[in-house]
């Protein structure tokens, strides 16, 4: 039996947080949701295809038709469940910087998957495992999509039954600062700079720091500096983003837990209190070279949300 069609005129609103992946030692495993959001409205229509209106980040740059990543994620989800995709009108208000290591592509995929969840309400029910599985299939790695979907600090891994996650609540004293440069960084390029294998002692080093980082983030923020040491990926990528490397080193020399955010070139500073974050922002402002925008964010604990709006009488 064919799946029921989605009603024409059905409309949903979606909100998705930015993320920072890796957090230093937790390469491809740890991610943190941050209080900076892309917002999306999607409405079904009779006319086939998709029309996308973008405001904010990416306006005039990202595709505004069916090749848009959000539309692709909606279509991918519908196809997964054998439901015919109706015509779509999307209004996207983007705030997450693109190409800066803050999970913009993961957020776009999650926005599409969540929009599909709302549009398919009453036809197909998507639980948390299905949402993570679909988003990971599109993104390739669960470490960015997991925190975007579920919020907080997430540990992501893959088992025989697919991608898995564990959400943890971050200590209230942890105060994030994200430093965003004008330059962008290709995730593919960043990944290409990492070697296929690393020394045994470096692997052990990162295992210990990753375990310590969980403790620091949920219980003991005073351990954040030691817990964010890394030998698996940041040093190998340093030559591709010298300004990022220089500022990370300067911040860490001042006792601040600074790491490359995702694939970079943005920097995440995990401060143990608001006063430390202000001190970090002052160091960033005085740093010579490339200007940086300092974003004083909170940890997002909710993750992505979707609201299905009541149908219009004329729909």
At 21-68, the pLDDT tens digits run 999 999 999 999 999 999 999 999 999 999 999 999 999 999 999 999
Q: Is 103 annotated as a binding residue?
A: yes
Question: Is a pLDDT exceeding 80 seen at residue 9?
Answer: yes
97 is in an annotated binding site: yes
101 labeled binding residue: yes
pLDDT of residue 3: 66
Is 56 marked as a binding-site residue? no
**What pLDDT does residue 191 have?**
55
pLDDT at 71 over 50: yes
Given CATH 3.30.70.890, say whether it is the number of domain 175-296.
Answer: yes
Per-residue pLDDT at 1? 42
Written as one string, the DSSP assignment of 114-183 is HHHHHHTTTT----HHHHHHHHHHHHS-HHHHHHHHH-SEEEEEEETTEEEEEEEPPPTT-EEEEEEES-
User: Using CA atoms, how far apart are residues 212 and 79, in angstroms rounded to an integer?
Assistant: 41
Reference 64, options 75, 72, 53, 79; nearest CA is: 53
Question: Is 98 labelled a binding residue?
Answer: yes
Domain boundaries, the chain: 11-167+300-309, 175-296
Q: Does the annotation flag 102 for ligand binding?
A: yes
The CATH classification of domain 11-167+300-309, taken from the options 3.40.50.450, 3.50.7.10, 3.30.230.10, 3.30.450.20: 3.30.230.10
100 annotated ligand binder = yes
Tens digit of each residue's pLDDT (9 = 90 or more) over 110-135: 999 999 999 999 999 999 999 999 99
Q: What is the model's pTM?
A: 0.93
């Amino acid at each position: 039996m064919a799946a029921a069609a989605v009603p024409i005129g059905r409309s949903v609103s979606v909100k998705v947080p930015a993320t920072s992946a890796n957090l230093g030692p937790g390469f491809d495993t740890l991610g943190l949701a941050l209080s900076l959001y892309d917002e999306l409205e999607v409405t079904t229509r009779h006319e086939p295809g998709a029309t996308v209106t973008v405001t904010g980040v990416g306006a005039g740059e990202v595709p505004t038709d069916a090749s848009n990543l959000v539309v692709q994620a909606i279509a991918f989800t519908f196809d997964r469940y054998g439901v015919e995709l109706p015509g779509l009108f999307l209004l996207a208000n983007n705030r997450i910087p693109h190409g800066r290591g803050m999970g913009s592509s993961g957020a776009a995929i999650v926005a599409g998957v969540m929009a599909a969840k709302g549009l398919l309400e009453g036809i197909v029910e998507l639980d948390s495992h299905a949402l993570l599985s679909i988003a990971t299939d599109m993104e390739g790695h669960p470490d960015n999509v997991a925190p975007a979907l579920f919020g907080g600090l997430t540990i992501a891994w893959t088992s025989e039954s697919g991608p898995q996650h564990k959400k943890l609540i971050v200590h209230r004293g942890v105060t994030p600062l994200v430093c965003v440069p004008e330059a962008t960084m290709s995730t593919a390029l960043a990944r290409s700079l990492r070697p296929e294998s690393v020394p045994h002692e470096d692997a052990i080093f990162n295992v210990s720091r990753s375990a310590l980082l969980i403790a620091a983030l949920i219980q003991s923020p005073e351990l954040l500096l030691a817990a964010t040491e890394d030998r698996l990926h940041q040093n190998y990528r340093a030559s591709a983003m010298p300004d990022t490397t220089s500022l990370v080193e300067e911040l860490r020399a001042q006792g601040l837990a600074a790491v490359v955010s995702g694939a970079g070139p943005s920097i995440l500073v995990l401060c143990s209190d608001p006063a430390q974050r202000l001190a970090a922002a002052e160091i960033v402002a005085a740093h010579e070279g490339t200007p940086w925008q300092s974003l004083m964010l909170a940890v997002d604990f909710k993750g992505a949300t979707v609201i299905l709006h009541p149908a219009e009488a004329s729909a």
